[in-house]
Structure formats: structure tokens, C-alpha cells
Chains A and B, each alone.
Chain A
Amino acid sequence: MFSGQMKTREPARSALECGSGAAALARVLQDDRTAGVGAPALQGACGAASACVVLMAVIIFATTVAFAASKPTLKSIGEALICQCGCGQTVYGCNHFECASRAEMNALIEKEIAAGKDETTILQDFVKKYGVQVLASPPAKGFTLLAWVLPGLGLVVGLAVVITFVRRWRKPPAKPDQAPPAPIDPKLLEAVEEEMKKIAG
């Protein structure tokens, strides 16, 4: 969901972690190549398509890194702070009609912006006044860094699990010296194809 903050200001840690996931997949593909799995064309296709998924992941996650801090606005600060009326929403998104807390906090944000303070300083001022729970996302330090690290780690571990299973489930490559399979009865083949056509429509 894209609610609110589309432009991000903090680099996402998951971008780096995703990069290591890509490396892991690349290693798997490399292993496959050295093991001589499948025909060269198929190997290329394997590499291309799997790398495509991982590349998409890297591109998408890396975009969060690309956007540096911009000038603070009522909206950008309002989206980074939790309204203290008890609604649990940000100051910008507080859905408490005629909320006194939102009005007070908005007034303070406007005052701080007018004083020429940058976003970090404004947020620090709010933490001093209301405590750390006023921040809409946990600070990326100490114990609360875990909040940020684990989703990215989850993604990487998940990818590692998928890759492990893919490797385990891969069919062993067909041995070239294996006897060719017995020829299929043409009548049976015809009947099967007829049936397949019926099913496939």
C-alpha cells in the first residue's frame, strides 16, 4: 500500500541485504553451470530469468537509497510523527475529527519550519517534548534497530530457503551414456495427444 509517504528519506537497510540475496542466487546459478546442468541455452534462460527476479528486487529496494532528505514540509513532518490524541495515526493522517492534539502539533511543526530547522532537528525537538513514541517509525539505533533489520532479514532468509529448496529439488542431470527410452507406441501417443487437446480446448 502506498498510503502517505511515497518519497522516503531514510535509506532502507533491506537494499543491502537484498544485494547479498542476489549474490547467493548468482552462486547457485554458478554452481549449476559448473556442474554442467542442462543444455547451454537452458542454462542461459535459467540465469536470465532468475537474475531478472532478483534484479527487480534490487532495483526496487535500491530506489529507497536514491532519495536523500528533502526540505521539511508540514506534510513530511506530519507523516513522521504520531498524533498524541490516541488515534495511533500520524499527525498528517489523524482521523480524529477536530483533534486538538493534531492542531497543537501542526502549529508547532509550522513554527519549527518557519524557524528554518531541518527535519532531524524538528523531530528531535518533538522527541524531547513528547518522548520517543511520538516518532511514527522506531529510531534505527539500539534495540529498535531490530524493527528495521528483521523484515529485510526475513526477506533474505526466505530467499535462502527458496534457493535451498530449488537446489534440493532439482532433478539430477540426465546422463549422456544412459540408454535411450523405449519408443512409445504411436497409437498410445496419438490417443494421449487427442485427450490432451480435448482438455486444453
Chain B
Amino acid sequence: MNQAGSVALIAALAFAAYGVIAGALGGALRSLRVTRSAERATLAFFVMITVAVAVLEVLILSDNFNNAYVASHSNRDLPFYYKIAVLWAGQEGSLLFWTFLLSIYGGLAVLLNHRKNRQLMPYVVAIVMATGAFFTSVVFFVANPFGELTLTTAAGTQSLTLPDGNGLTPALQYNSMVIHPPMLYLGYVGFVVPFAFAMAALITRQLGDNWIRVTRRWTMVPWMFLGTGILMGAHWAYEVLGWGGYWGWDPVENASLLPWLAGTAFLHSVMIQEKRGMLKVWNIVLVITTFFLCIFGTFLTRSGIVSSVHAFAQSAIGPFFAVFLAIIVFFSLTLLFLRLDYLKSENKLDSVVSRESGFLFNNWVLLAAVFAVLWGTIFPIISKLVEGTTVSVGPPFFNKTTIPMGLLLLFLTGAGPLLAWRKTSFKSLRQNFTIPLAIAVVAGGVLFALGVRDVYAWMALFLCAFVAVTIFQEFYKGARTRQRVYNENFVAALYNLTMRNTRRYGGYVIHFGIVLLFIGFSGLAFRTETKATMAEGDLLRINDYMLRCQTLTEGEDPNYIYQRAVLTVTKAGRALGVLDPERRLYKASQEPISHVAIHSSLVEDLYVVVAGADSDSGKAVVEAFVNPLVGWVWIGGAVVFWGTLLAMVPSRVEREMAEIRRQREEVVAEDHV
């Protein structure tokens, strides 16, 4: 079986290499035949990588402990769905999974552009396949998941099969961990397609709006997955790690945030190019930056050069990634430099007070945030290299540098869409800003009266009120106009308004999701916590909550043994139910881990952990946290997700334009006949 996996990898590598050469030749010779051959190689690459993934899954599911990867990351009693997730639990498997997702994106790009973008496609294939060839090489030569265990004795080297494996890291044995990494990787990997289209546009000098239009959805899909993946990771950290928080500014977390921020800047900036023919060079720079940060993040967290809680073992992949990154930078910037003459701006800026400058400010803050997070993440390495001393750059640094930027972005989220393209009159500014600002000021006053004194939280909530009102105002005004013009009822007008311009109103929904996220973040300022050693019958009070320890039980699952505290919860005398946090000890790895119990509401979460057990007295150490507003983080994430999907639905305007184009083409064809 192991050999079958390796053979599939070699075949995939051969197809990828062929795809690069045939794609480049097909483009240079303008040969459809050669290009089609390169496209078929992309599909064959997908098939071969799928075979390799299938082989590894079979090895995992059949408990083949002769395979080193399976023996390190799985065990017999691991439930089926966690065994599936073993594929991305370790360095080798997750790199193979990365390559698998890349092959899916590559295959889809080929299939969906079978008749479109024919000049760009040969180079798109070449670039996607070059990335595929790189990852397949790393998987095959450096981090091969198909290695066998061997035992070397005086008699020679023998194949070794262990009776059972080391098991999956306990922290990964949660439902959200089954879905979180695929989401995150779908985000990371997907940015290869917009990058490939940008490079193809540079190579072919097709630098009009076409590549921007083509790549909009190809950018939104990975952006959506990356954002969802990041929040799912945060949710997992919250539910599993037992410290009551969800974001620790760990290098791996930072690495995933960087391309998301750069991708957000790109998604906004492309609108200026589409509407006004400006920022052409900048958009190319942003797409290069986003893709670079995707690969750089992978390099940073997998090479072992920064210490991280996401413990991928140190390996030799670092130099390979460093070379690949250098190639990306050299290739893309050289190409950009050679094509600068084709990237001249078509328009001038009419006014400082315009949507264009709103986007410029948005890009300014987003890129400054990218720089601050990147700088903080790599500073320990720089300090070590320059001074030889190790310093830590942790949450206090990132909070101080990025929270102000986040608040500024939140302000721009509300203010930007109120500005008109080209220039905004003072009258229009007054009309658009008066109500949101007035309501925000009232909300700010109410918050102050309610005792909100944390300045960041107050400011975040004040801005949330401002932005939310600007969004509602936009929907309301649009729907009212439709009501008057088309005589529709308000709900129908709202629906038709949204569906007529899904991109704009989907964008507003995303902005509203961001508002909800910030409401959730602001809750961290009001967190309270307490800790007690409890025996059966003991009480623990936190805020209005009273926890009574009903029983302390112990039990066993095939995979772990547990100690469970059963606690009845009342709030201001009203019964809320039972919470049963556990302390688990996984048999295979002998690692203890907490199993948190949470009572959630829209106002706050009661979060309870069994933090330890006193073996002498038999008492449990119980930690309780009240985390206000945290539920809005997950709701906000869901709203961003659905808003992104809405923004990707072809709008009626788009469909009508496509229909007009189709009819014109038919008329032209008939004229030729």
C-alpha cells in the first residue's frame, strides 16, 4: 500500500511538471492543442493526488501501524470520523491534503474555463501546476506520509509493525477540529487561482479589467473559507483549550490572519479598478502579497522557526519553502516591473472625499495591520539573529498595535460606503452621516450610563452602533426608493433590491457580520472568573450564577478515562440546567485535557472547566468564567459567511448584461451567415 501511495505521488509530480511545460508552451506557441494537453495534465494531477489521499486514508482506517505516519497519529480505538481527520493531523498528511485541495482548485479552474479566458488559461495552468509540483515534491521527497517503520538489528533491517499507534493528539479530538483545518486550507490554497490569473494577465499583457472580473469569485471563495476557518479555529480553542478565551495571537493564528487581511484589502481595492480603471499596479501587488503570505504562513508555522502551540514537528521543509518564496517574489515582481507600461491609471481622482479615497484609507489600515502582525510574529527571530537574545512577542503587543487599527477599520466600514464614487458633496455627507452619528452618540451615552468604562470596548460598541445604522440606512433608503418607483411592498422591495445588486448588498451583510464580530470582541473587556475546590454539595458563585456540585463521577470510554463534575446552575434563583465539565486522560497518548461545559446565551456564556482533581480529598478544582457577548463572535462569523455567499450570487443586473451580450453575439453570428 505504501508503495502505491508513493507511485501516485511520482505520477502526480510528472503530470504537474508536464502541466507547467505544456502550459507555458501552449501559451507561447498559441497552440490550443498543447494547452488542452496541459489542462488534461491538471486533471490527471488531481486524479493522482486523489489516489495518494485515498491510499493514506485506507492505511489510516485499516490501522496499518507499519506506516510511520499512521503509527504516529492514529490508534485502534480512535472513532471513525477522527480517523478521517488523521489525514491532516500531522505535517506529512496535512501537506498532502494541502496538495489535494490545490489539485481540486486547479481542476475546477480548468473545467470552469473550458471555453473562456483562452489566452490566460495556458499560463494559469502553468502557474497552478508549478505550485502543485512544488508541494508534491515536498510531500514526496521531504515529508512523505508513506514511509514504513523499520527495525535495524545485527541481522539486518526488518519491516516493523506496531500493535497500536500513538493516537491522535487529544486536543484534536473534537468535532470542530474535523472541519476547521479543511476550511482553513481551502482558504490558504485557493488564493493560488487569483495569483495565477494575475500572472497570466501580466505575461499575456491582457491587463484590462478581465482578470479582475474573472478572479473576483475565485478570490471571494478562499477569502470566505479562510475567514470561516480562522473563526472555527477560534471556536475550537474556546471550546477545547479551557482558558476561557478564543484568540491568543499564536504564530499559527497570525499566519492565517495575514493573507485574510491582505485578501480583504484586495477585494476592496479591485472595485476601484473595475469602476475607475485606477490602482492597477497596486491590485497586482496585493494579489502577489496575499499569495506570498499564504505560502509564507505555511513556511513560518511548519519549518519550526517560530515556536507555536500548533505543534507541527520541526522538519527539513524550511529551506524548500524559503527557495519557493524567493522564486515567487522574483518571478512576480520582475513580471510586474516589465509590464508597468501596461498598467497606467485610466482616470484621475476627482476628490479626496470619494469612495475611491475611502478604499485607499481602507487599504492603508489593512496593510498597516498586516505589517504590524507580521512584524510582531517574526520579531523574535529577528531579535535572535541580530542580538542573539530571545524575546517574546505576545498578546499585549498585538492588542496594543492592532486594536486601534481594528477600530479605525470599523469606522471606515461604516463611513466608506456612505461616500459616493468620484466626489461626495457636503450636503450628501450631512444627509448620510447625521442619523448614524446621532444614534451612535445616543448609544454611546447609554453605554456610559450603564457603566461601560473600558475605553476600547466603549469605542468599539459606539462604532458598531454607527456602522450598523449606516447599513440599515442603506437598505432602508434603497427599499423605500423601490417602493415608490415600482409600487412594491417593503419586504419585496428589500428582496428585489438585494437580488438586483447582490455584490453591493451582500457586501453590506458582510459589514454587518463584522459589526457583530466587534460586538463579540468588546465583551472580552467585561470577562469575570473564579476558581474553587469543590466537593459534592459545595456551592460556587460567579456574578448572578450559582453552581452546586451534584456529583463527582469517574468513568471510561474506549479512548479515554474521565472525571466529571455534574453541576446544577441557577441564575438569580432561576434554574438553568446542568453543566458537566470533564477532565479526560487519553489512553494512547496519556495526555490529560479538559472538556469544557458552556451555557450560552446571546448576552453571555457561563464557561466551566474541571481544571484538576485533588487525589487525596477527591475534590475537583472548578474554574468558572462569565464571558459576555462571546456568542456574537460566532453569529458574526456566520453572517459574514452567508453575506459572502450572497455577494457571489450572480445579480439580476449581471444576468441581464450577460443576456444582452449573448443576444448581441447571436446577432453578429447571424449577420456573418
Query: Which A residues have a C-beta under 8 Å from some C-beta of B?
Result: 1-8, 10, 12, 14, 29, 32, 38, 41-42, 44-46, 48-50, 52-53, 56-57, 59-61, 63-64, 66-67, 79-80, 82, 86-90, 92-95, 97-98, 131-139, 143-144, 146-148, 150-152, 154-155, 158-159, 161-162, 165-166, 169-171, 198-199, 201
Contacts and interface: CB of A to CB of B under 8 A. Distances in A.
B464 to A, nearest CB: 12
A166 B387 contact: no
Contacts of B357: 50, 166
A3 B237 contact: no
B369 to A, nearest CB: 9
A6 to B, nearest CB: 4
Given A38-B351, A93-B248, A138-B397, A6 B457 contact: yes
B473 interface: no
B592 A60 contact: no
Nearest to B370: A154
Contacts of A60: 404, 407-408, 459
Nearest to A25: B352
Interface stretch (B105-113, B360-368, B548-556): B360-368
B456 A136 contact: no
Interface in B115-170: none
Contact of A171 (B349, B364, B404): B349
A143 B426 contact: no
A151 B378 CA distance: 13
A88 B396 contact: no
A39 to B, nearest CB: 9
Contacts of B459: 59-60, 63
Contact of A88 (B246, B308, B364, B501): B308
A135 B392 contact: yes
Contacts of A3: 245-249, 395, 399, 524
Contact of B400 (A8, A44, A89, A133): A8
B521 A94 contact: no
Given A1-B399, A5-B399, A151-B368, A98 B375 contact: no
Place the interface of chain B in its size category.
35 or more
A42 B456 contact: no
Report which residue of B383, B396, B593 has the largest number of chain A beta carbons within 10 angstroms of its beta carbon: B396
A73 to B, nearest CB: 11
A46 B352 contact: yes
B391 A132 contact: yes
Interface of B: 237, 241-243, 245-251, 278, 307-309, 345, 348-353, 357, 360-361, 363-365, 367-368, 371-372, 375-376, 379, 383, 386-387, 389-408, 411-412, 415, 419, 423-426, 429, 454-457, 459-460, 482, 496-497, 500-501, 521-522, 524-525, 583, 592-594, 611-612, 652-653, 656
Report which residue of A60, A97, A147 has the largest number of chain B beta carbons within 10 angstroms of its beta carbon: A97
A29 B352 CA distance: 9
B531 to A, nearest CB: 10
Report which residue of B391, B411, B497 has the largest number of chain A beta carbons within 10 angstroms of its beta carbon: B391
A42 B524 contact: no
B371 to A, nearest CB: 4
Contact of B429 (A48, A94, A144): A48
Given A48-B426, A49-B424, A147-B376, A170 B348 contact: yes
Nearest to B240: A95
Contacts of B353: 42, 45-46, 48-50
A131 B521 CA distance: 32
Report which residue of A2, A38, A132, A147 has the largest number of chain B beta carbons within 10 angstroms of its beta carbon: A2
A135 to B, nearest CB: 6
A97 B524 contact: no
A6 B390 contact: no
11 contacts: A2-B460, A52-B415, A60-B408, A97-B593, A97-B611, A132-B389, A133-B392, A147-B383, A154-B371, A162-B363, A166-B349
B468 to A, nearest CB: 17
A201 B412 contact: no
A8 B357 CA distance: 32
A76 B371 CA distance: 27
Report which residue of B379, B394, B652 has the largest number of chain A beta carbons within 10 angstroms of its beta carbon: B394
Contact of A154 (B372, B394, B424): B372
A80 B400 CA distance: 12
